[in-house]
Chains A and B, each alone.
Chain A
Amino acid sequence: MSTAIDTSRFVQHNQIEALPPPNLARGPIAWVRENLFSSPLNGLLTIFVFYLLYVIVPPIIDFLFINAVWTGTDRDACRAETAGHRIGACWAFVIDKINYFTYGSYTISERWRVNIFFLMLAVGVTWLLWLRAPRRDLGALYFFWLFPTFSYVLLTGGNMDLGGGFWVGFVVVSALFIGAFAAMAYLLKVSVKSGAAIGAGIIAVIGITLALMDFDFGLDHVPTSLWGGVLVTLLVATVGIVFSLPFGILLALGRRSKLPIVQLASVIFIEFVRGVPLITVLIMANTMLPLFLPAEMTVDRLARPLIGVAFFASAYMAEVVRGGLQAMPKGQYEGAMSLGLNYPQMMVFIILPQALRIVIPGIVNTFIGLFKDTSLVSIVGIFDLIRTIEASRIDPNWAAPTISYTGYAFAAFFYFVFCFGMSRYSLGVERRLAAGQNR
């Protein structure tokens, strides 16, 4: 096609006059001329934008700060008739309800447990996200094992009361499991000792987790129906990330696998979950999980959406991780294989550490999406932050015209701070990783 075009028709025939030298003026006036009024159209646009800001911004500032009510104990503070002036945001309402927004109806005397959960979460997130933190491998162990286990014990009160019969069964199954590992090692003619050690390690992790959940720490049981607010929002997000990362990695490996059935199963799962809205997954978890389980088993009402979110997030995480796996140069795989590493060794020691590092921005962006999506659990009746605000909004004690706006403004601020912070972090990491590439 390109040869058919007579390019000489596009080219200037005559020399055009040279442009004047660029304007080297500096200073605020030159800046304004350059950036705001460089052409008549730009000038009009600038004036239009200023007008738009004039219409939008002052009322918002007026509402949020100048006419806002900061103190008060009930609706009288936030009603124009009783307060005697125009009323903006009723922050007194948020201050009055802040404990409800944070903990829901969690037993008041036990709320220190929730605070410890928040603290442990903050420690885990910082440990993993701060790229120069010491011993980030221990951080991963903490975040994906110890932290969830302790959080479970703290928040519910632990003391699952599994009973002696369960533990007898557990010991028998463990012995069989370790035996199977040893037998496999013997058949493969590798060290029986290390085979048994791997089996014992797996059993130990499961056993310690179960023991911690079973042990009576003397904490009162707090049913999940009392949980609410920021606690539930952060809990859903945490469960999402703690489950989705390992599952997502497995699914991504499955999708890249050479084994056809493994690959097919992964592709079906990922594409299925990514093709449907989260709300349908949540409704499915809510209505169908009880159907699929034996009649004597009940799933906690809070656990159902958590399972839905975990599955949903895994599929999205899998695609992010797959991007990282595909970005690895083939030489890394070949190098690992030529050193005689087997598949798990190659993945754990060579590929995943590099692949996961380059997809940190993608993981964080997925997590931002997940964090925003946690608000959907309110639709299936879980008391997350949005639901607690919806419930407080109609409290007759605080019936005032601006209450709804105030509640939504507070929630918007909460989500914005978290999401914006994470997106800045992800941008920063992206820039840092790119710095290494631009040699």
Chain B
Amino acid sequence: MQTIVSQTSPPKKSVLYDPKVRGAFYQVLLVLTVGYLFYMAASNAVENLQRAKIASGFGFLNNTAGFDVSQTLITFSAAGSTYGDAFIVGLLNTLVVSAIGIVLATILGFTVGIARLSKNWMVAKVSMVYVEVLRNIPLLLQLLFWYIAVLGPLPQPRDSIGFGAGVFLNSRGLFMPRPLYASDAWVIGTALILGIVGTIVFRRWARKQQEQTGQQYPVGIITLALVVGLPFVSWLVLALVGTNPISFDMPQKGTFNLRGGMQILPEFVALLVGLVTYTAAFIAEVVRAGILAVSKGQTEAAGSLGLRPGQTLRLVVVPQAMRVIIPPLTSQYLNLTKNSSLAVAIGYPDLVQVFMGTVLNQTGQAIEVVVITMGVYLTISLVTSFVMNIYNRRVAIVER
């Protein structure tokens, strides 16, 4: 302040004041610190592993597992399968419970979210209580509740509760008829795929027609006819012609247990119910926020154009709300997938329970097991967010 800097010769600044030099200095410091920490951790780990005589490397994946898993989607046996198979079994179980959970949580969550905005006072209040109660209690507690307190007191297999049509409930889970496919069952599958493809084509066409002429077609009924009707008709034709393409293996009540049929583990049911009801509460909030984000003027404008309330919702509000809903909805899906790891608390054989639990305890190869497990979850997360970024770029409002 006291000295006036002459215009001709700028003051000679210390090189230490150069932002580039400083930036480089800080970054080198960071790299050195992190590198040192990693080096220390690695060298300690090598030393500790050698002392504990624990092998390293991924060779253990080919060793015989020697334990059984209660729910397997691929053939798995204690004697014949490897740790690598156990990993796949766990991964598939995680994916199954997440996929079914996502579908059910979306349905329940949208229902509750829309119900919270209902003009019906009772419906709105009940939905609010649902959301507040479910959101504010830890998921782990809810899972324990569903598993021990609700499914625990179910009767022994000999006193199974029958629901008719071959569905039984007892302490070993839910028993249902298992479908058996005859050799020509592929026709039905093909019919279903054809129906779905046909629906997509028809919807595109109907949309184009609507944009050009304003004419609307009964999309809902035709979708139903194509997706449900077509496979049904093909089943009917096959059944009338001769062989029944799908028959059911009914669970039979034995003295001590039910034989045959399809068994759904109580752990699976508890985990699924817990995940679905918990995540649905969060999805409901996302949906509510999304619908509220569409300004009231849109609804009013649609009304003044003569659209009925149902059309307003379907053609004006929902498409705009989805833009707000989808990103947080995806992160709720990811949360559900990550939360499915709480299966370990109630003994559902998911990735964490099988691989990070049993396999880790048997082999002691903590680093490899942790790296693989985390890698799986990380891959799922990163792939999802990558896809989401692409989607976001597509639906983002194009400003004029």
Binding site for B on A (CB under 8 A): 1, 4-6, 9-12, 16, 35-36, 38, 42, 45-46, 49-50, 52-53, 187-189, 258-262, 265, 271-272, 274-280, 283-284, 287-288, 290-295, 368, 372-373, 375-376, 378-379, 386, 390, 401, 404-405, 408, 411-412, 415-416, 419-420, 423
Report the nearest A residue to B124, measured CB to CB. Answer: A35
Using A259-B26, A404-B152 as known contacts, say yes or no to A292 and B120 having CB atoms under 8 A apart: no
Contact B377 A284 (CB under 8 A): no
Report the nearest B residue to A49, measured CB to CB. Answer: B122
Interchain residue pairs A-B with the least CB separation, the first 9: A9-B214, A275-B381, A419-B136, A35-B121, A292-B41, A277-B338, A287-B366, A372-B138, A277-B341
Q: Which residues of A contact B339 (CB under 8 A)?
A: 277
A393 to chain B, nearest CB (A): 8
Contact B211 A4 (CB under 8 A): yes
| Known contacts A35-B119, A283-B360, A419-B135; 16 further A-B pairs (Cβ under 8 A) | A9-B214, A38-B119, A49-B122, A52-B126, A259-B23, A272-B378, A275-B378, A277-B352, A291-B48, A292-B40, A295-B47, A295-B48, A408-B145, A415-B136, A419-B136, A420-B136
Report the nearest B residue to A274, measured CB to CB. Answer: B381
Interface residue tally for chain B (C-beta within 8 Å): 64
- Interface 9-mer from B27-35, B85-93, B234-242, B257-265: B27-35
Contact A404 B338 (CB under 8 A): no
Mask: chain B, 133-176; 1 = CB below 8 Å from A; 0 = not:
10111111100110011001100000000000000000000000
Q: Which residues of B contact A372 (CB under 8 A)?
A: 136-139
A369 to chain B, nearest CB (A): 10
Using A188-B16, A375-B141 as known contacts, say yes or no to A265 and B30 having CB atoms under 8 A apart: yes
Which of A16, A38, A258, A280 meets B23, CB within 8 Å? A258
Report the nearest A residue to B49, measured CB to CB. Answer: A291
B336 to chain A, nearest CB (A): 11
Q: Which residues of A contact B40 (CB under 8 A)?
A: 292
Tell me the complex Cα distance, A194–B344, Å.
Answer: 55
- Interface 9-mer from B178-186, B195-203, B317-325, B367-375: B367-375
Contact A375 B120 (CB under 8 A): no
B158 to chain A, nearest CB (A): 21
> Which of A36, A292, A295 gathers most chain B CB within 10 Å?
A292
Tell me the complex Cα distance, A36–B118, Å.
Answer: 10
Q: Which residues of B contact A386 (CB under 8 A)?
A: 138, 140-141, 144
Which of A1, A10, A415 meets B305, CB within 8 Å? A10
Contact A188 B17 (CB under 8 A): yes
Listed A/B pairs (12) with beta-carbon separation below 8 Å: A4-B211, A9-B214, A10-B306, A49-B123, A261-B27, A262-B27, A280-B377, A283-B360, A284-B370, A416-B133, A416-B136, A423-B135
A422 to chain B, nearest CB (A): 9
Tell me the complex Cα distance, A53–B121, Å.
Answer: 14
Q: Which residues of A contact B53 (CB under 8 A)?
A: none
Tell me the complex Cα distance, A109–B14, Å.
Answer: 63
B370 to chain A, nearest CB (A): 5
Q: Is B342 an interface residue (CB 8 A)?
A: yes
Instruction: Mark out the residues of chain B between 1 and 32 whose CB falls within 8 Å of any chain A CB in the assembled complex.
Output: 14, 16-17, 23, 26-27, 30-31
Binding site for A on B (CB under 8 A): 14, 16-17, 23, 26-27, 30-31, 34, 40-41, 44-45, 47-49, 51, 118-123, 126, 132-133, 135-141, 144-145, 148-149, 152-153, 211-214, 305-306, 338-339, 341-342, 344-345, 352, 356, 360, 366-367, 370, 373-374, 377-378, 380-382
Q: Which residues of A contact B374 (CB under 8 A)?
A: 272, 276, 280, 284
Which of A16, A38, A368, A408 meets B144, CB within 8 Å? A408
Contact B370 A283 (CB under 8 A): yes
A274 to chain B, nearest CB (A): 7
Tell me the complex Cα distance, A279–B350, Å.
Answer: 13
Contact A261 B31 (CB under 8 A): yes
Q: Which residues of A contact B149 (CB under 8 A)?
A: 404-405, 408
Contact B47 A38 (CB under 8 A): no
B361 to chain A, nearest CB (A): 9
Tell me the complex Cα distance, A401–B148, Å.
Answer: 12
Which of B23, B51, B138, B378 meets A375, CB within 8 Å? B138
Q: Which residues of B contact A373 (CB under 8 A)?
A: 138
Tell me the complex Cα distance, A408–B141, Å.
Answer: 7
Contact A11 B122 (CB under 8 A): no
Tell me the complex Cα distance, A408–B138, Å.
Answer: 11
Contact A279 B344 (CB under 8 A): yes
Tell me the complex Cα distance, A260–B132, Å.
Answer: 42
Q: Which residues of B contact A36 (CB under 8 A)?
A: 120-122
Report the nearest B residue to A401, measured CB to CB. Answer: B153
Contact B345 A379 (CB under 8 A): yes
Tell me the complex Cα distance, A405–B153, Å.
Answer: 11
Report the nearest B residue to A284, measured CB to CB. Answer: B370
Tell me the complex Cα distance, A419–B49, Å.
Answer: 42
Report the nearest B residue to A286, measured CB to CB. Answer: B366
A278 to chain B, nearest CB (A): 8
